[in-house]
Amino acid sequence: MGVPRRHRVPVVLLAIAEVLASCTITLGGSDAASERPEPEPAVPAPSASPSAQGSAVSAPGRLAIVDDSGALYTTLADGSDRVELAGAGDAMIMASQPAWSPDGSLLAWVVSDPQSASITGTIVVSGPRGEDPIVTPTPFAPFYLSWSPTGDRVAFLGPGSDTRSSVQMGVLDLGEGEPQVRPVTAGDPFLYFAWSPDGQGLLAHAGFDRLEQIDLAGGEPSSLTSRPGLFATPDWSDDGRTLVYVERGPRGVQRLVSVVDGERPVTLVKGKAALSFVLTPDGRSVAYQMLGERDGDLFDRRPTEPGDGVRVIDLRSGVDRRATSIRAMTFWWSPDGERLLTLAPEPASEGAIPFLWQIWDGRRVIDVAGRHSPTLVLLRDYAPFFTQYAQSTTPWSPDGSAFAFPVTAPDGSSQIVVQEVGGDPSVVADGAYVTWSP
C-alpha cells in the first residue's frame, strides 16, 4: 500500500474511491503479466518498458515524491540531488498531498502521525530542498492542498467537525507577518473549488445546491448557479476571462457551460452522463469526457465503443473534436495548452488490465511509456478526483518536454518513471506518487 489514508474524505467521494480500490487491480507492469499467476492477457506484449537505469533526463524543475512509507523527498528529473524533506526513517511522521507553489519556489505538504487520534493537522511549507520550513497547525486534518495563483495562500480541505458538515475548508495565509489559518465559512459542505486568478476569492461548490464566488476579504458570496453538476470541478482561465463549470438541467441532463468576459452562459455540450473536464490555462480550449453509468467502470472489459474517450472544444470557434478513442481515467494539459496527456486502462478480455499513457497534439494521438501498472495510491487517492488535482498539481515538466508518473514494478515495489516526449521511459526513483514543479 502507498501513502496511507489517514483522514476520512467526504462520504460520497470516499465511496467513489472505494469502488476503485475494491476492484481486482492485477495490472501488468511492463513485462510483468507473464510473471504473475494470472491468465495470459489477451493483449499484445508491451511495446516499451521503463529502463531499470535512470537516463540523463534534462527537463527542468524538481520532482516531489512520496514513497510507500510516507516519506517525502525532492529530486531533479533524473533522480539525482535527492533531498529528504519529511518522514525518512521515522515511522511516526508521514507526509502526503505535496503541492508546489505557482512559481515552483515553495512546496507545501501535510504531516501527520498515523498513531495519533487527533483530528487536527499540520501543513509544512518550505523551499524545494527543505529550506526555511514553516510549520503551521490546522484545526482539522487536511486531505487536499491548493496554492493561490499569487502564491501567498494555501487553501485546504478536510473532514467536517460534525455529521452536518462532511467537508470544511481553511486558508493558510503566508503574507506578511506570521502565517495565519482561518476557516472559510461561506459553504457547508465544500466539495470542489477553483481559485480566482487574483488569489482573492474562490469559485466553490458550497453544499450540493450552490456554486458560489466567495470573497476571502469577507464580502458576501454570490451564486453562479443553484444547480451545479455533482462532483465536477469548476475551472477558471489564468486571465480570469473564462469560467467553465457543469450545471444540472431537468430530467438528469448535465450541461457543460462557459462564461466569457461576464457574458451570458453558453452551453457547450449536454447529455445524460457524468461530465469531467479540464480547461487550458489560456482558456481557449476545454477537454471533456462524458461517461454513462456503465462507462464509469474504467475496469470494464468491454471493447471501447466509437466516440468514447476524451473530446476537445475550441471555445473560439466552437469546433468539437475527438482527442482519444479510449475512456480515460485522467487527462492533463501541458503547461502551454498545446498537448493533452491521458491515462487510460486498455480493455482486455482476460488477465491483467494494462494502462496506457497517450499524448494528443491536436492532430494525432501517440502512445507513450508502454503498458504498465499504476500504483494503488494513484488509482485510489488521486485519479478519482483528478479534475481537482489538475488545478494544483501536474505530471508535466515546466517546459512540457517530459512527464512523470508512478508505477508498480513486477516485484510489487513502487517506482517513479520519467518519460521524455519522443524518448524512452526511465525509472528514476522509488515512490508511490509524484508531482512536478511548475
CB burial class (10 A; 0-12, 13-18, 19+) of residue 412?
exposed
HSE, CB side, 13 Å, CA atoms: give it for residue 290: 16
Q: Which of 277, 101, 126 is nearest to 199 (CA)?
A: 101
The helix/strand count (H/E) of the chain reads as 3, 31
DSSP state of 190: E
145 within 8 A of 10, measured Cβ to Cβ: no
Distances (CA, A) of 309 to 178, 279, 326, 329, 361: 47, 16, 5, 10, 15
HSE, CB side, 13 Å, CA atoms: give it for residue 115: 4
CA angle, corner 435, sides to 311 and 235, nearest 5? Answer: 40
Q: Tell me the per-residue pLDDT of 313-350, one tens digit each, with 9 for 90 and over.
A: 999 999 999 999 888 999 999 999 999 999 998 876 66
HSE, CB side, 13 Å, CA atoms: give it for residue 215: 7
| Cell reading at 197 | 486568478
Cα Rg of the chain (Å, integer): 21
Cβ neighbours, 10 Å, residue 107: 25
* 142, amino acid identity: P
Q: Tell me the per-residue pLDDT of 30-47, one tens digit each, with 9 for 90 and over.
A: 333 222 222 222 223 233
**Per-residue pLDDT, 295:** 55
Q: Tell me the per-residue pLDDT of 197-206, one tens digit each, with 9 for 90 and over.
A: 999 999 998 8
| Cell reading at 414 | 513502487
pLDDT higher than 50, residue 429: yes
CA angle, corner 93, sides to 144 and 22, nearest 5? Answer: 55
Q: Is 416 helix (H, G, I), strand (E, B) or coil?
A: strand
> Does 150 or 217 have the greater pLDDT score?
150
Q: Tell me the per-residue pLDDT of 92-131, one tens digit each, with 9 for 90 and over.
A: 688 999 999 999 999 999 998 776 767 789 999 999 999 9
Q: How far apart are CA 309 and CA 329, in angstroms?
A: 10
Q: Tell me the per-residue pLDDT of 406-427, one tens digit each, with 9 for 90 and over.
A: 999 999 999 999 999 989 999 9
